[in-house]
Structure 1
Amino acid sequence: MTTPTSQDLCLDGIPQAARPGILNLAQDYLSACQSQGLAPGPWPGSLARVWYHSEFVARVAIRRPEAFMALLASGDLERVYGDGDMCRRVRDTLETAGDEAGLMRLLRQARNREMVRIAWRDLTGTATLEETLDDLSTLADHLIDAALDWLHQDMACRHGEPRDADGQPQRLVVLGMGKLGGHELNFSSDIDLIFAYPRTGQTDGERCLDNQQFFIRLGQRLIKVLNEKTPDGFVYRVDMRLRPFGDTGPLVMSFDALEDYYESHGREWERYALIKARAVAGDRDSAEQLHALLRPFIYRRYLDFGAFGSLRDMKALINREAARKGKEQDIKLGEGGIREVEFVGQAFQLIRAGRDPSLQLRGIRPVLERLAAQDLMPAYAVRHLLEAYDFLRRTENRLQMVADQQTHRLPREDQDRLCLALSMGFEDWDSFETTLDRHMRRVHGQFEQVFAAPQRADDDVEQAAQPEAQRDLAALWLGSLGRERSLEVLDTLGLTGPESALAGLEHLRDCSACRNLTATGRGRLDRLMPLMLGVLSGLKDPDATLERLLRLVQTIARRSVYLSLLVENPLALSQLARLCEASPWIADHLTRYPLLLDELLDPRSLYAPPGRQGLMDALNDELVQVPQDDLEQVMDRLRMFKQVQVLKVAAADIMDVLPVMKVSDHLTWIAEVVLERVLGLVLEQLIAKHGRPRCLVDGEPFEPGFAVVGYGKLGGLELGYGSDLDIVFLHDSRGEQAMTDGERPLDNSEFFARVGQRILHFLGVFTGAGRLYEVDTRLRPSGASGLLVTSVPAFEDYQLGSAWTWEHQALVRARPVAGDARIAEAFQAMRGRVLRQPRDEAALRREVREMREKMWKEHATRDPAWFDLKRDPGGIADIEFMVQYLVLAHAARHPQLTTWPDNIRILESLIETGLMPRDDALFLMDTYRSFRDRIHELTLQEMPARVPVVDWAREREQVRAFWQRLMT
């Protein structure tokens, strides 16, 4: 074989000025081969181009030509590593390490081989950016892990294995932070590490050590073998400053100590740093426990808009430091650089991932993709960020591959600029720079949109730039404007009672909730209040709105994250003012459940309550985020789901987006979806404990079910805000051997009774998120003295043989709302049979009339100036009783009257059957809708369901006239 010479090297594509340097490197390589008696093969076609862009690769080849030749011959430069390939390469290299010096030498040799492979594949375009970052991160994981294993065994030979008080072996957990943790390591990066171990104890050898001391020594040795520079180079520059208390803190801490630190001392930047934390070496099983301990610190259970301010301050500090060090041309820290892409994605994680675990991701690219998928960021903005991130990370790696140095600064020398441009696929520097500038402008523009804070006025310069009106509002809130001027300013906002408003502001400022705020909380409050006063201008009723807003602020002051939400989102603040003005009920709802403030962020969602399927999907999304065995969390999530969905209905209602029939439909769907899920959860719990109910019917195995029947407003699809749920429980167990099949069996009747009891508990118990529903089960057979859960046959026997007329009236507005479909079908058939019984119309009319007259005496309004829309003669109850009477009186001849449980569709059926003139039925339908619509409005104004007697006088008298003609 002919020995190649430097002159044989293919220099196509290499600038003329760079060729002598490449030829010199080639000659040095050949001399190194000759000195070791090696016969190099032909030059690879890509070699000159790789060496031109990476002198590091050339220097490694010159230092160890035999290893370089082996790499060329291995085929590894052309292929993607499979699972386990990197681990095997590293372990095979280190297996001959006999002492620490040998370990250090072999670690560096393994590292250099793989780094040459990674650089070669990246520079030749053989590898994608994703493959390059994955290889770099995987290599780091295995080098750290293999070094740690060797050092642990070496120390255990001297001191014994570290164990906890129960004798369980303990291993070090190495958390990788930053890009290593995110599996996005760059070519020549420091690695930020945190060391931890599960539990305290001591080693079991003769020269025993306390566990912490053992792991501190182990950590120190690990840092040394990775970090120390030798003739073979280094493995990684190790940075431990992200550990608790930084350089002054212990090198290693137990899990309990770490948890205590973050609970007591953890700062916002540490939450940011821990987002990407990942166990890269050591005891990965225990690491899952550590991640679970840290998760509540990193991800708050509420939307944490305070993170915006913290990240904004952190980025400002980075910008000032970059400017001080002349790093304006820094593709990582400069405006539009890599750090700004990461800040955008991780800001959303800090704010939302506590409520949405699907955002608890480590890599920035999947986070951004998730934001687009959830419509939290526009798809085009995410696309621009991902394209920029890809370009910037490739640029970063190409800069660092030149000399294996950690640099993010663009070169200044023309030849270096050309080298970078060519490595990125551009013909010259200008075209590269144009593309780079476009990407960085897009990143910075998106960063500014996400982090813009036009409301903030943190320093004198910013305050001086504020409009005079805004400065006056700030001074008014702080109490430094003077009384007369304060009243004038409040008057300009349209307040008719400025004295009362000023007193309310002073009361809030001096209340204990505000006096005891932290400096951070006080700063957020002081930024919010001038903005809140500003949104009063132009409202129709600013006085009442301010009073409601002040109550809300006093409630949320101690949870200053909500203050941040309103400061950071002007649209949310304006929506809050708008809703509080429109409805004291909504204002009170938000005050009692501040988590609902999150819903103000997106008016598209706020004023568009989902349909039934949308509600089911939303509840599934909500509950999939919590462990189903954590009953407290499940109950809280169910309650918050209900509160959120009712708020959306109320917001759409108050803004006239939904007509009255749709309001009731939505409120009814919410109840149905909640009941279905509660029933499912209860059954799941009881089946896990007692097994499934079983029985034999005519000798055949049968699995009985359970169903919930809705009565009244729930059955009639006419729920209002705050309506109780009238429900009845049914099961269809019968026959023989009626027992559950678990290890702790129950009689089926006892099992289903427990199902009913638990449903009532689930719905009615108060938690911090309120109560789901008040429930009334007195419409079951025999009322409060009857069984809580009834079998379907027993229910029918009761209805046909013992039920009162008023119970049949109630059955008109009954329907299955949750549970077993077989029982639902049986109930509907049974309901039809009961309602379609032939009846004595005169006796029926008398009984219905007497029941209604009894209600008038007990519940009608005593004040002649007022008309109760529900209970008074001529109101809703009269219409309902007439409809129920007509169904019971005529269903035997007109069975279609039993098809529907709601009054409007029954009235439509009365038209179709000819039992009521069309005009009369349409009048009753319109009046019924109007009365219900007004009741909804009054509820949202926190007023009783009554109006001045002159209102709807004509409609009321006409309803009474109908009553007289039909019922007397």
Structure 2
Amino acid sequence: MLQANLNNLPSALHPILKHNWEQVSSVLETLDNIPEQFAEDLSRVLTGSNFVAEQFGRSPEILPSLLNSGDLYSSYHDNQYQESLNNLLSVVETEEQLHQAVRKFRQREQTRLIFRDLTRASDMRNTTRELSWLADACVEQTMNWLYDQACERWGTPTGRHSRKPQRMVVLGMGKLGANELNLSSDIDLIFVYPENGETEGSKKCLDNQDFFIRLGKKLIQALDNTTIDGFVFRVDMRLRPFGSAGPLVISFDAMEGYYQEHGREWERYAMIKARVMAGDQEAGAELMQILRPFVYRKYIDFSAFDSLREMKEMINREVRRKGLNNNVKLGSGGIREVEFIAQVFQLLRGGRDARLQQRELCKVLPVLPEAVGMPQQASDELMEAYEFLRNAEHAIQAVADKQTQELPIDEQEQLRLAYSMGFDSWEGFTESLENYRNNVRIHFADLIAPSEESEQDEQGCEDQTWLSLWNDDLEEEHAVEILNEQGFDDAAKAWELIDSLRQSRTVKMLQQIAQERLLAVLPILLRETSQVENSTETLGRVLQLIQAILRRSAYLVLLAENPVASQQLVKLCSASNWFSEKLTKQPILLDELIDPNSLYSPPNKEQLNSELRQQLLRIPEEDTEQLMDCLRYFKNAHSLKVAASEITGALPLMKVSDYLTWTAEVILEAVVDIAWKIMTEKHGSPQKSAGVPCNPDFIVLGYGKMGGIELSYGSDLDLVFIHDSDPNLFTDGDKQIANSVFFTRLGQKIIHILNTFTTSGQLYEVDMRLRPSGNSGLLVSSLKSFSDYQNKEAWTWEHQALVRARMVAGDTQLQQRFEEVRAQILSLPREKGKLLEEVAEMREKMRSHLGSKNSSNEENPVFHLKHDRGGIVDIEFLVQYLTLLNAQQYPELYEFTDNIRILDAAERTELISSEEAETLREAYKAYRAVGHRQTLQERSNTISDSEMKDMRQAVACIWEKTMQ
């Protein structure tokens, strides 16, 4: 049998296999009918692992046990180690027996895992997962046994306030926490207990902390001490609060206080992988919830780049000092760099994307393309490299069960490693290894590139000039001279702005790290700001934003790390005060500046809908507050993007309004869904007819700018709610209410979600005055009531409003029925003289109340874009008049709700001439474009009377001609 297997092995490895085969030969002689496949597998394992050979020789019972039980060729389920070890320890009576039993258990299972890994009966992920389960079981079952003994001796630890028995919580850190333990890893643990108090049930009481420290020491001894039977796991407790200088076990309150007051950046990285792996699972889950804000920040945390770079540099120095280039974990392109890449995105965006709040690297890497825009190829290459490197790490450690990641230097050992990895030669293995490591290096460098000294030298002198304004106590005259030389249009005012921030209490109270981050970004922003036309005005806007983010200095890192983002910021603040105000109020939106491609290439409605749905799916349905914050961030981010596109000319006016309207529509759809779920969970579904639930038989109508697909920045939403159910029926839930009450509350819930001010602001201001009977009418009308009102009671101006009404959210079947009602109302025959009189009268009333004459003066006459003669409302009323007068004959007039396409229809039907239609279209677009610019500069809709005179006069002439 041996000879047959030697024939399939490189001759240089024959001595290893012969030696190890001899150690197990006596055991093999006791086995009957050894399967050929097992003989081949055993040969591969004995070639790759001296440890397995030693265990089979030292404990002859292991091999028959593994073979006869089928464990050698079977995967374990997640609780199998726990059950097996619990059974073994149930008959243990002394600590000495405990130590022996748990060690023998570990050696058997470790041998099985190495056998399965080297034969590839188990892949890397399954091996690391089972190793972690093995560690969980050894810690859990050993601690349970020791806890019972400790309670008998010292009493049961009891909470001072809760009066409940206390159990220890064991946090697994690092690879153990992530269920990614390697074949010969130590285990990083933190011991915690829920509540202070004393033990009860013993003559001598102990403080809970004293009890758990004693328990913790015994647990470490039971696992870590090396006896004649070996060890279980090497235990490392240095990740606990205050490290080796801190107490071995602390309470939840002390743990929370430590991370709030003393938690360092590297501890955040460590806590990403923290998991309650043993002890009181329920209490442990509460602890992890308490610690979560320390790890994952709500805002985009760009300090992750800075601290990761520092950590990487520290490791690089260690690699150079200790010569670790041959280390598959710590060396360049090694396992650690893959972990860093995943962790930087977890800390960067994990607070806002729950998909990144996972411990397992193998689960994080695949979601990076969708979550953070990493190229799919990069994600795939990193995953492949990680699996190869982890397999190499296991093959290295399988030889002697030693914790090492060093590539061997002995030729025979090199060939052994290559053979275990499936290669015929060391050269073949190292070529593949280098390819994988090179891919990791490239992707790591792309993400966390070290600062280039040459680039620093080039900009050093210029940066020092800018920093002298901040660091040196310059005379005002000298400072103004510097700013003047650098191109500021009002150097004196610019110095006043800089000095004001420099002398502010906020700046003087900054911690050192925030000071350093501020100094890193100031030269970049000052340099960019000096190059725009309105440099001093822009400087004021930029420094206002800096003032707002000083206490959240991770945003300063974002700007320092992303020169493109800084350039975009200055460019857009220069063009728009609205833009800078938006960022100042919500700095979290700075994240949107990073990628100019997404900033200036807005999505279509389907993409917007998909993006919002994906974001909402990551939030528990019952967490209304978080859902509302998500909606607000989505709206603000896309408002910012469309503003950037309009400012830079990347989008024309019509596309800007489309984008803003689409954004509102997908938000409304989501809000209706959220409100519907809240209401139906509480009251059940309303009934369309007896026994037939609504599905949902509810729509939201958009009027005005929303209906006309003409939203601008900050537009409110003119909405009307319609349902189609029997108001006399009731919902089918436990807490039944009348259908009419249900839909009224549904409408109120929708308005609440839209209107409420949160820390992220308001979604939209909602105006419901266009519903039947206005503010005195029902909040939600049935379609029949709506139809009756429009036919019998509505004023002409309400029919005018209906011209721009359309469904913007809700049930598509009810939409069809609404459109039939709308078409019927708009197609009613109307007497021309009466219609003309009523439209003109309403127009004059609006002009007298809202036009510019109320605020103008003779010296500086002004023009109100919307309400003055020849303005936007004249065009809208013309369109509405033509539609109401002629819709019976020309149904294409009410096919669309936007003014431009209605004008197109009026031209095609020859209700107005082509020249008139073109004049009205161009004027309408021009007025709206100016209105948008006014909004972005936070100015009113009033401009100088000298502007746009020819256009206004042309519109007024068409009005006079048509409305005779």
TM-score of the pair, normalised by structure 2 = 0.92
SS of alignment partner, residue 869 of structure 2: coil
Question: Paired residue for 1:114, among 109, 116, 123?
Answer: 109
Conservation of the 8 A alpha-carbon contact between 2:730 and 2:737 = yes
- Distance across 1 between alignment mates of 2:427 and 2:3: 32
Measure, in 1, the Cα distance between the counterparts of 2:444 and 2:727: 69
- Is the aligned partner of 1:952 residue 2:948? yes
Kindly provide the amino acid, as one letter, of the partner of residue 101 in structure 1.
E
1:950 Cα deviation from its structure 2 partner: 4.1
Tell me if the contact between 1:33 and 1:40 (Cα under 8 Å) persists in the aligned partners.
no
8 Å Cα contact 2:688/2:724 also seen in 1: no
> In the alignment, residue 827 of structure 1 is paired with which amino acid?
F
Q: Which runs of structure 2 are paired with 1:649-798 in the superposition (5 Å)?
A: 649-694=642-687, 705-734=697-726, 736=728, 738-798=729-789
Q: Give 1:371 shift.
A: 0.8
517, 521, 525: which one aligns with 2:510 = 517
Q: Distance in 2 between matches of 1:230 and 1:9?
A: 38
Return the alpha-carbon distance in structure 1 between the equivalents of residues 821 and 153 of structure 2: 82
Residue number in structure 2 paired with 1:636: 629
**In structure 1, what is the Cα distance between the partners aligned to 2:827 and 2:781?**
22
Equivalent-residue separation in structure 1 for 2:54 and 2:711 (angstroms): 78
Query: Aligned pair 1:360/2:357, yes or no?
Result: yes
Contact (CA 8 Å) 1:731, 1:790: kept in 2 or not?
A: yes
Which amino acid is the alignment partner of residue 909 of structure 1?
Answer: A
Contact 1:514 1:558 in 2 (8 A): no
Deviates more, 1:612-621 or 1:424-433: 424-433
SS, match of residue 535 in structure 1: helix
The answer (yes or no) to whether the contact 2:687–2:726 under 8 Å persists in 1 is: no
Specify the alignment match of 1:899 in structure 2: 895
What's the CA shift for 1:193?
0.7
- The answer to whether the 8 A contact 2:919-2:954 is kept is no
Q: Is 1:575–2:571 an aligned residue pair? A: no
Question: 1:520 is aligned with what amino acid?
Answer: I
Counterpart residue type for residue 846 of structure 1:
E
CA distance in 1, matches of 2:495, 2:211: 64
Superposed displacement of residue 17, structure 1: 5.9
> Equivalent of 2:914, from 908, 914, 918?
918
Contact 2:727 2:738 in 1 (8 A): no
- Shift of the 400–542 alpha-carbon distance from structure 1 to 2, 3 Å rule, reads same
- Tell me, in whole angstroms, the C-alpha distance in 1 between the residues paired with 2:594 and 2:439: 24
Counterpart pick for 2:256 among 243, 254, 259: 259
Closer/same/farther in 2, CA of residues 446 and 735 from structure 1, 3 Å limit: closer
Task: Return closer, same or farther for 1:704/1:470 CA change in 2, 3 Å cut-off.
Answer: closer
Q: State whether residues 335 and 386 of structure 2, in contact with CA within 8 Å, keep that contact through their aligned partners in structure 1.
A: yes
Q: Pick closer, same or farther for the CA change 1:480–1:320 going to 2, 3 Å.
A: farther
Q: Report the CA distance shift for 1:817/1:373 in structure 2 as closer, same or farther (over 3 A).
A: closer
**Shift in Å at residue 597 of structure 1?**
0.5
Alignment CA distance shift 1:555-1:702 (3 Å): closer
1:609-657 per-residue CA deviation (whole Å, 9 max, x = no partner) reads 2222222222222222333333332222222221111111111222222
**Counterparts of 1:400-479 in structure 2 under 5 Å?**
400-454=397-451, 466-479=459-472
Residues 809 and 885, structure 1, Cα contact 8 Å, conserved in 2: yes
Matches within 5 A, 1:244-255: 244-255=241-252
2:532 equivalent to 1:535: no
Q: Which residue of 2 aligns with 1:854?
A: 845
Aligned to 1:941: 937
2:139 to 144, 147, 171: 144
1:191 aligns with 2:176: no
Please state if 1:325 is matched with 2:325.
Answer: no
Distance across 2 between alignment mates of 1:395 and 1:704: 57
* 2:581 aligned with 1:588: yes
Residue 23 of structure 2 contacts residue 54 of structure 2 at CA under 8 Å; is this kept in 1?
no
Matching residue of 1:222: 219
Task: Name the structure 2 match of 1:77.
Answer: 72
**How far apart, CA to CA, are the structure 2 residues paired with 1:700 and 1:159?**
66
Which amino acid in the other structure matches residue 626 of structure 2? Q
- 1:174 is matched with 170
CA distance in 2: counterparts of 1:75 and 1:632, whole angstroms: 52
Instruction: Indicate conservation of the 8 Å contact 2:727/2:740, yes or no.
Output: no
Match in the other structure for 1:131: 126
Are the equivalent residues in 2 in contact too, given 1:487–1:499 (CA < 8 A)? yes
CA distances 1:554-587 after superposition (whole Å, capped 9, x unpaired): 1111111111111122221111122112222212
Segments of structure 1 that go 5 or more residues without pairing to the other structure are none
| Aligned partner (choices 785, 804, 825) of residue 795 of structure 2 | 804
- Against the structure 1 CA distance between its residues 134 and 757, is the aligned structure 2 distance closer, same or farther, given a 3 Å change threshold? closer
What is the match of residue 838 of structure 1?
Answer: 829
Partner SS state of residue 726, structure 1: strand
**Distance apart, 1:373 and its partner CA:** 3.8
- Shift of residue 726, structure 1, vs aligned partner: 1.6
Between 605-614 and 512-521, the greater mean CA deviation after superposition = 605-614
Q: Is the 8 Å Cα contact of residues 353 and 371 (structure 2) preserved in structure 1?
A: no
Match of 1:57 among 52, 74, 79: 52
The whole-number CA distance in structure 1 between the counterparts of 2:585 and 2:461 is 35
Verify the 8 A CA contact 1:732 1:792 in the aligned structure 2. yes
TM-superposition CA deviations, 1:230-260 (whole Å, max 9, x none):
0111011001111122222232233333223
Of 486-495 and 610-619, the range deviating more from structure 2: 486-495
Distance 2:18 2:905 in 1: 96
Unmatched 5+ stretches in structure 2: none
Q: Deviations over 1:97-130 (max 9, x none)?
A: 3321112112111111122222223233433222
Instruction: Provide the rounded CA distance (Å) in 1 between the counterparts of 2:392 and 2:730.
Output: 70
Question: In 2, distance between residues paired with 1:845 and 1:336?
Answer: 78
Residue 820 of structure 2 corresponds to which residue in structure 1?
829
TM-align CA RMSD: 3.0
Q: 1:14 to 1:889 in 2, by over 3 A?
A: closer
Which of 480, 483, 490 pairs up with 1:497?
Answer: 490
When residues 237 and 706 of structure 1 are mapped into structure 2, their CA distance, relative to the original with a 3 A threshold, is same
C-alpha displacement of 1:397 = 1.6
Checking the alignment, whether the CA contact within 8 Å between 2:85 and 2:105 is kept in structure 1 is: yes
Q: Secondary structure at the match of 2:6?
A: coil
In structure 2, give the amino acid aligned to 1:724: D
| Deviates most, 582-591 or 727-736 | 727-736
1:813 aligns with 2:808: no
> Once the two structures are superposed, what CA deviation does each residue of 1:569-608 show, in whole Å capped at 9, x if it has no partner?
2221111122112222212211121111111122222222
Cα-to-partner distance string for 1:266-299 (whole Å, 9 max, x where unaligned): 2211110011112222233433323222222111
- Aligned twin of 1:870: 866
Q: Distance in 2 between matches of 1:758 and 1:39?
A: 74
**Aligned residue runs from structure 1 range 382-397, under 5 A:** 382-397=379-394
For 2:628 and 2:842, how far apart are their aligned partners in 1?
39
Return closer, same or farther for 1:602/1:322 CA change in 2, 3 Å cut-off.
same
Which amino acid in 2 is paired with 1:553?
A: I
Distance 2:861 2:778 in 1: 44
Q: Which residue identity is paired with 1:214?
A: F
TM-score under structure 1 length normalisation: 0.92
Deviation at 1:200, TM superposition (A): 4.2
- Mapped to 2, the partners of 1:920 and 1:695 lie a distance apart of 48
- What do the CA deviations read for 1:835-856 (whole angstroms, capped 9, x no partner)? 2222221121122112222223
Question: What whole-Å deviation, never above 9, does each CA across 1:849-897 have from its counterpart, x for those lacking one?
Answer: 1222222323333447433221111111111111111112222333332
SS at match of 1:730: strand
Distance verdict in 2 for CA 1:422–1:740, change over 3 Å: closer
Q: Is the 2:684–2:731 contact (alpha carbons within 8 Å) kept by the matching residues of 1?
A: yes
> Shift of the alpha carbon at 1:905?
1.8
Letter of the structure 1 residue corresponding to residue 539 of structure 2: L
